[in-house]
Structure 1
């Protein structure tokens, strides 16, 4: 049974992942949730899902992944409505949690950070994580125990109050507790300090206790300054058609509460837009440590339409100064990412094909290039011959190849100049001097090999030694090895021949001594020409269809 369910589970996982990828991502909510280790905490979804037109559902995921939070209310961590409940929270619960809201046509997600902390040693609170209650000096002030409504009915709950972790005598005339408020009478600077409220409640037949730590301080009334709009600053914002958008107006002020409005074309937006597509939220207020206040008010678009572009949406503060700032919506810039990806894929593909083609047709490409007008000819390198031909003597096939085929193809048709020992030396010349001088005047050394029998070995040891010394030791001349017959055993070959074969390989003659074997366009002659230097004159008409001009 479990094996039958496994493919189904994989399918559901894929569908969930695919669906999640289509969600519009709103990043991380700037407002974090905090909880003391061992105490319960509820986290509500930070998204404004109430503005969605159709039925929707809220789903929570752990760490922004596809691990869905359990809906089992008996589980320590479970989802209940739009809340995640931790009963209780633990240190390793510190994590990002993703709230995803979906209906049949719409999906948005946002991360919420939970930080679970330990109380400072010997204290009932953590100094780094406290609610602030900063009041200006007056006869009486009220401290609120925040965020209890999701846990208890504050009108019926019994809330205990502490100062510096010591219980307060709520029966004295100094304090008055009502619901989730603690009122301090005749407030002085001595009343400053860390206050803690604590309440117990029952959930799933288990009792839990939650507490809130409040840093209460008194301040002198600050000087009243004109309100300042900190955002927007006459911004231009790119937004996609059909997407959700929330515009925030943030105002820094002191003194009395300010009134923030959003307008377009001198008309309030809630009057201009009659439908529910554009909604103006209620303002929110917060107190800063320096005594100033922050007021924010959001203008939410459930769906951006064409009519919203290139309009100035003004945020305005009703005050004597009357500051004003605007946001203009525009279409996003063209996204070239897809084009660039396709371009680089094609570029890589073309590069790979080019490398393969060059490797396969390398010889033809080089020969074609040499026959072009881009190759410099008549190079003055002091050389007389294009190649010195070395071969065993006194076999018919060897003489036919060396004395007839090589001169016919390389000299007559392709314009090379060869020195063939046994054909080009003059009678009476000193052999040692002739070989040394001729090899030094050649650009290549061509060694034609027969089989390994004793009668076909290189006969002239002196000639061989000079040539090998010149090619391998002084590195003046490049060597081309040609096998006239297939040689399977190089045991009896000189060490120099073995080294050259191992280093650069050989070219094997597979043809017959016929008319067709005289064509320089066969693979054998192409490979020989590839290893030969470029001719010093133009190729003959038979070699590469170019007019003959031999040096």
Structure 2
């Protein structure tokens, strides 16, 4: 005797000894099979005394017989114990090829070994007249407009191996798909209607159909209203000590969500539930509904405000299914509001001003040059001056140094300012004709220029031949204010006490530029500072 057989016998004995009486299996837990006349239908055998269906495939091998009974006829029960011309016993299922209206009724199956009978629950077969393609009985489906849906062909568990042959008809006439499930990627108004799924089956060379009708409806999608705490968020309220006060915590949510949300007050991690003599407690929860929205309100009552209530957070907590929100209220004594935010704001404002000032002072040259280039300003068009700058070289008695300084003044300076940036320079050694260097001629040349560039490079200026030019230019710059000076310190001046007072004044001003070994590049700070001090000129 096999293990499977012993297991089945033990299970049958535990289910109860039912002695061949059909009435002992009550008609509960029934299922209904809907079909139309002329279509195929299949009834499954499910044992009513089992919490789950038994595996019935091998019952006949071990001496068990499966019989079907119907009370459809008025003369009594009809037993189907084997194949008939139209109604067939297919394993543990009963097949109709096809169904007729008079097949409607209740069906049960019996598993018996001659001693014990196990009866199935009732299966009701409802066969209706075939009045057209679409069924009167439909399976309802719905989806929001703009969303996708997969339509299954309902109650075809017995035909899982043949579902790929299902034919889908829209409004029962238009063939839209062939396969297991029909997918609509984006439901629209025109997608609604009746859908029929047709499963064709062959029996003895004749085709029969199993059909189901689905009714698809579409509706506008309404975004669910998310629960939200309205008040308080982070509040500060000034109150008088000893006074009475009521504060409201308010939250809004969808009407359906109101039953699943909780709103309460919390202070120092304690619930504020009234015990009759509390100085502070929470009132009853109120819910106000309007359209599809609900407002939930919970009151916090202060019978008498004490000092221990001040400067501490009273928390209002909203808890819903998938969200938790907390709002705070801090009580302050009236007239003694917290000035810390104001002080902090003032400190931040002062700090910002200092930072902006430092940045502007440090990068003022770059800002001004960028602004000039942006607006393409050209100051040389605003007057009748012939030159942008008069170059005055204060020569040293040191021949070697003088040679370097002259090279800078006569070659490098004009090469950058004239050729790269478009300025026009008046250089005494280059532009003043020999024999024409009288005092009046020098003054006339200086008056034709917008800037006076003084190249300072050594200390020994007491007997310098350019001293007259220097004094003339300084007089024009500092006394008459007809020209602005630019002082280039080519070599560091270690002792400035022997210089004229007017030149010392310029050395201490912002119109002084120091030459460095890194100043050769035209993008160096040296040339940017020179351009900043020179008249604005569109390159």
TM-score, normalisation: structure 2: 0.37
Radius of gyration: which is bigger? Answer: 2
TM-score, normalisation: structure 1: 0.36
